[in-house]
Amino acid sequence: MNEADAAPLSETELEQIDAYWRAANYLTVGQIYLLDNPLLREPLRLEHVKPRLLGHWGTSPGLSFIYAHLNRVIRQQKANMIYICGPGHGGPAMVANAYLEGTYSELNPDVPLDEAGLRTLFRQFSFPGGIPSHVAPEVPGSIHEGGELGYALSHAYGAAFDNPGLVVACVIGDGEAETGPLATAWHSNKFLNPIHDGAVLPILHLNGYKIANPTILARIPHAELRALLVGYGYDPLFVEGEEPAAMHQRMATVLDQAMRKIHAIQDAARSGHGGTRPAWPVIVLRSPKGWTGPKEVDGLKTEGFWRSHQVPLSGLADNPEHLKMLEDWLLSYRPQELFDDTGRPKEELRDTTPTGPLRMSANPHANGGLLRKPLELPDLSKHAIEVPHPGAAKAEATRVMGGYLRAVMQTNLAAQNFRIVGPDETASNRLQDVFEVTERAWMEEILPEDVHLGRDGKVLEILSEHTCQGWLEGYLLTGRHGLFSCYEAFIHIVDSMFNQHAKWLDASSHIQWRQPIASLNYLLTSHVWQQDHNGFSHQDPGFVDVALNKKADIVRVYFPPDANSLLCVTEHVLQTWDRINIIVAGKAPSWQWMSMDEARLHCDAGVGIWDWACRHNRPEPDIVMACAGDVPALETLAAVTILREHLPDLAVRVVNVVDLMALQPEDVHPHGLSSAAFNALFTTNRPVIFAYHGYPWTIHRLTYRRTNHHNIHVRGYNEEGTTTTPFDMTVLNGLDRFHLVLGVLERLAGLGEAGDQLRALMKAKLAEHHDYIRAHGQDMPEIRDWRWTPNATI
Ligand SMILES: Cc1ncc(C[n+]2csc(CCOP(=O)(O)OP(=O)(O)O)c2C)c(N)n1
Ligand SMILES: [Mg+2]
């Protein structure tokens, strides 16, 4: 290191950067504590302080320290940078920085850069009717709420993919670093190509503590920490200490080094000298938790300890000494030097920040909808399966979808704005046609025998559903598009991340300046009814139930019953924004029901009567056979053929549901059917045997307000599973054709002898099935060879 490196900041620069940092800290403490008297122009009294003290101080000074130094680099280098704040509970710090940059007031004219604005800024924080305590969508420059810890680094990499000009600074709390999702996200560097991707600069914030414990990474020996980061493939740079002036110089030195390394890596790779995975820099910032806050409170260590995690001083009403300490603490930042007479941050401070869109709080990448361009979608009809009549063809639905996704990928390759992510399952889920136009991204060694691995691949596969989800969220939040394909059972691993993203979308939709981002699209396949190699552990259709808890405006759930309907749904979801779309579809060879034209009409309606499958189609059928999902549709149709043969006079209506949300009342969900439309399909008084892909209660939950709800009898997954034949899975759960027919017989009185005979036959069939599979290890020929026969009398 040369001398300039050791102290890169001139005295003036040092003073300015420190003043900026003090201002950010002042604004942070002000937000947590003050209702009034924002500039301490008069002695602090109890009525100036909030009655409820809600916020997190401990992480905040470190966050602002980093912010101030990143600003210096941005200004010097005109760097295009965003800031991901892993410890999202440091909301007041991020708001403070956005305010000092001017962005906050530009977006919120009611919070101007003056004393009145300061009062509002302070008052609104963690206050009813105000703003949340975290780095929520309300915070300009944020794409990461950080309330649920663990996703900072995967979000950062998601933002950097296909963004060659962007540097994503990503602060990781040392507590956060203990989470599973964060721990595995370090490996994202194995997928980042310096040629066409941007850079991620992780900054591990070792403030030593979590809420009430030391952190592992802060207490392990230095050499082990270094070895750990080196082992993850990074080049660690350390900034350690607590004396501000020395820390400013050290941070400036290290940030310059880090940026030089990033540029060297990118320059080498972009001039043809890359090829292998570089060791990207990571900064380790070891500084006291609650830095610059009260050192001791009531004789107990506070600065540099976990006691400063939230509000170091509390109970001010009963404790005048604490009030005085708060005043001293605020005054220690010398606010009179930081704000002018009007309360506006002094120009010298404002001069330390970048301007315009280079401000991290105003960078358009952090309001990705500003940059979002619609995907170019290829002609769907080229991928259609020929289905001259229902049941005329067999196809693997997701393989057909894969063909379409290949075309989507190809059409948008030049735009570099479409990624498919998945936990090692793209091919297993039958989407492998995309590998004809791209590969799986891979920056490690590639062996001659490897298949579809490449440096430029647009498919991201890592066996971490958390990382897949985080990457895709980061990618979408910065204005691009994508799809997550996953085994149905294991998508539960990201239940909580799904929740958080749904909350983000919900909150964002109320913020006028946030622009819509592309929807998060899931394909859930290898589903509960189609497990060949796998058993009980792989059988769980409950993700949909998690999804239904979220606001109706956000979530859509689709059960296309065949390949053409899957194509229609796929095309649709890729054009939507600000939603989470869940598509559940099988990958096994299955009968096809609809031509492309029919599928379009059916999917547009979301639910409809399959006229071709009805028997004596009339306004008041004897029974309604409803289905949602590919296997339930098949079993329903098979049940209809049995009914047709044995009870030829029975009037049977078949209703297929593609859009699950259509079942909800129209005032609950935008896709909900009106009462009249629902009643026209499901009647007001006829029994409905509803074969559903997932847990039966889901259908009851969606339809409980419908007139005919008491007549809806649902068959679905009852948590019965094992490694067995596909048909046996339906039998175990009572979703098979024989049980469906038994369900009909149970609900219809007066079928006489014909009904009794059919009941006996169904029971015999179930017994036969039971014995057959145990003897032969596969389903009965009549099940395997079943096919739909057109209905003579509809
Ligand atoms: C997944 C998750 N588990 C638990 C919490 C509760 N929690 C909030 S802050 C915190 C400690 C975080 O420590 P660290 O990441 O070191 O942040 P900092 O020290 O910078 O505040 C915990 C456990 C959470 N927010 N998210
Ligand atoms: Mg910590």
Per residue in 287-345, pLDDT (tens digit) is: 999 999 999 999 999 999 999 999 999 999 899 999 999 999 999 999 999 999 999 99
For β-strands 481-487 and 555-558, DSSP reports them as: unpaired
* Residue in the block written with tokens 């001017």: 102
Task: Pick the atom of ligand 1 nearest to 62's CA.
Answer: 20
Whole-angstrom distance, CA of residue 251 vs CA of residue 242: 11
Work out the percent of the chain whose per-residue pLDDT is above 70: 99
Which residue among 28, 94, 149 has the greatest number of ligand 1 atoms within 8 angstroms of its CB, and so is best to mutate?
149
Asked whether the predicted pLDDT for residue 472 surpasses 70, the reply is yes
- Torsion over CA: 117, 120, 125, 129 (sign): negative
Of 64, 171, 172, 176, the one to substitute when testing ligand 1's pocket (max ligand atoms within 8 A of C-beta) is: 176
pLDDT class of 3 with cuts at 50, 70, 90: very low
Residue 603 falls in which region: left (phi positive, over 0), alpha (psi -120 to 50) or beta: alpha
How far is 181 from 495, CA to CA, in rounded Å?
Answer: 13
372 lines ligand 1 (CB under 6 A): no
* Total Cβ atoms within 10 A of residue 792: 8
> Residue 470 and residue 153: Cα distance in Å, rounded?
8
Angle (CA) 562-698-667 rounded to 5° is 95
Whether residue 656 has its Cβ less than 6 Å from ligand 1 = no
Answer yes or no: is pLDDT of 593 > 70: yes
The model's confidence at residue 792, banded by pLDDT at 50, 70 and 90, is low
210 lines ligand 1 (CB under 6 A): yes
- Note the pLDDT of residue 537: 87
Task: List the residue whose alpha carbon is closest to atom 21 of ligand 1.
Answer: 59
The torsion region of residue 780 among left (phi > 0), alpha (psi -120 to 50) and beta comes to beta
Whether ligand 1 lies within 6 angstroms of the CB of 176 is answered as yes
Q: For atom 22 of ligand 1, which residue has the closest CA? A: 211
Q: Is 146 in the pocket of ligand 1 (CB under 6 A)?
A: no
Beta bridge partners of 418: 481
Measured from the CB, is residue 253 less than 6 Å from ligand 1? no
Distance 290 CA to ligand 2 centre (A): 10
Q: What is the DSSP letter of 386?
A: P
Of the residues 210, 287, 495, which should be mutated to test ligand 1's pocket, given the most ligand atoms within 8 Å of the CB? 210
Q: Is the pLDDT of residue 2 over 60?
A: no
The region, left, alpha or beta by phi > 0 then psi within -120 to 50, assigned to residue 121 is alpha
Q: How wide is the angle at C-alpha 138 spanned by C-alphas 137 and 141, nearest 5°? A: 70
pLDDT of residue 794: 44
Q: How many residues does the chain have?
A: 794
CA–CA distance, 416 with 276 (Å, rounded to integer): 21
Query: Do 28 and 60 touch, CB atoms closer than 8 A?
Result: yes
Ligand 2 centroid – CA 718 distance (Å): 44
Which is the closest atom of ligand 1 to the Cα of 147? 25
**672, 664 contact by CB (below 8 A):** yes
| Ligand 1 atom closest to Cα of residue 59 | 20
User: What count of other Cβ atoms lies within 10 Å of the Cβ of residue 110?
Assistant: 10
Cα–Cα distance, 403 to 528 (Å, whole number): 24
- Give the Cα separation of 302 and 288 in Å (integer): 10
Copy the structure tokens of residue 362: 């105003």
Instruction: Indicate which residue's Cα is closest to atom 9 of ligand 1.
Output: 211
Question: Starting from the edge strand earliest in sequence, which strands make up the sheet with 580-584, in order?
Answer: 453-454, 440-441, 459-461, 418-422, 481-487, 520-525, 580-584, 555-558
Is residue 59 within 6 Å of ligand 1 at its C-beta? Answer: yes
Nearest to 591 by CA among 325, 789, 341, 294: 789
E strand or H helix at 629: none
Rounded to the nearest angstrom, the distance between the alpha carbon of 666 and the centre of ligand 1 is 40
Do residues 30 and 122 make contact, with C-beta atoms less than 8 angstroms apart? yes
Residue with the two structure tokens 């604005």: 117
Checking if the pLDDT of 618 tops 90, the result is no
- Average pLDDT for 249-253: 98
Cα angle value 174/286/15 (rounded, 5°): 130
Closest residue (by CA) to atom 11 of ligand 1? 210
Question: What pTM value is reported for the model?
Answer: 0.97
* Tokens matching residue 623: 């029974």
pLDDT of residue 790: 82
Please state the rounded mean pLDDT for residues 685-692: 97
Q: Residue 779: CB within 6 Å of ligand 1?
A: no
What is the per-residue pLDDT across 645-657, written as a single tens digit (0 to 9) for each? 999 999 999 999 9
Distance in Å, CA 327 to ligand 1 centroid:
28
Confidence of residue 428 (pLDDT cuts 50, 70, 90): confident
Cβ atoms < 10 Å from Cβ of 15: 14
User: Do 64 and 29 contact (CB within 8 A), yes or no?
Assistant: no
- Local structure of residue 89 (DSSP, 8 states): G
pLDDT of 728 strictly over 80: yes
Sheet of 166-173: strand order equals: 80-85, 166-173, 199-206, 280-286, 234-240
Q: Are 50 and 127 in contact (CB under 8 A)?
A: yes
Q: How far is the first Cα of the chain from the last one, in angstroms, to the nearest whole number?
A: 86
522's tokens: 């899931």
Structure-token pair, residue 673: 């059917």
- For residue 519, is pLDDT > 50? yes
- Give, using CA atoms, the residue closest to atom 17 of ligand 1: 173
Region 494-519 average pLDDT:
98
Q: Using the mean position of ligand 2's atoms as its centre, give its distance from the Cα of residue 85 in Å.
A: 13
Please give the C-alpha separations between residue 240 and each of 32, 58, 206, 235, 437, in angstroms, as whole numbers. Answer: 27, 17, 9, 16, 47
Whose CA is closest to atom 20 on ligand 1? 59
Q: How far is CA 544 from CA 376, 618, 727, in A?
A: 29, 33, 23
289 CB near ligand 1 (under 6 Å) = yes
Label residue 748 by pLDDT band (50, 70, 90).
very high
Mean pLDDT of 93-107: 98
Q: What is the pLDDT of residue 83?
A: 98
Q: How far is CA 591 from CA 715, 716, 789, in A?
A: 21, 20, 12
Q: Mean of the pLDDT values across residues 83-88?
A: 98
3-state class percentages of the chain: helix first, strand second, coil last, to nearest 5: 45, 15, 40
Please state whether beta strands 555-558 and 520-525 pair in parallel, antiparallel, or not at all (unpaired). Answer: unpaired
What band does 178 get if pLDDT is binned at 50, 70 and 90? very high
Query: Quick one: which atom of ligand 1 is closest to the CA of 210?
Result: 13
Q: Verify whether ligand 1 is closer than 6 Å to residue 89 (CB atom).
A: yes
pLDDT of residue 5: 60
